[in-house]
Amino acid sequence: MPTTPTPAPESPRTWRTLLINTPLGWVCSLALAALGIYLLANHGGHIVTALPYLLLLACPLMHLFMHGGHGHHDKRE
What is the per-residue pLDDT across 20-40, written as a single tens digit (0 to 9) for each? 778 888 898 899 999 999 989
The rounded percent of the chain whose pLDDT value lies above 70 is: 69
Please tell me the predicted confidence (pLDDT) of residue 11.
64
- Sign for the CA dihedral angle at 53, 56, 62, 68 comes to negative
Identify whether 44 is part of a domain. yes
Identify whether 73 is part of a domain. no
Range of the domain at 59: 23-66
Identify whether 74 is part of a domain. no
Identify whether 32 is part of a domain. yes
Identify whether 41 is part of a domain. yes
Alpha helices, H only, the chain: 15-20, 23-42, 44-67
Identify whether 10 is part of a domain. no
Identify whether 12 is part of a domain. no
Q: Which residue has the higher pLDDT, 56 or 25?
A: 56
Number of domains in the chain: 1
Identify whether 14 is part of a domain. no
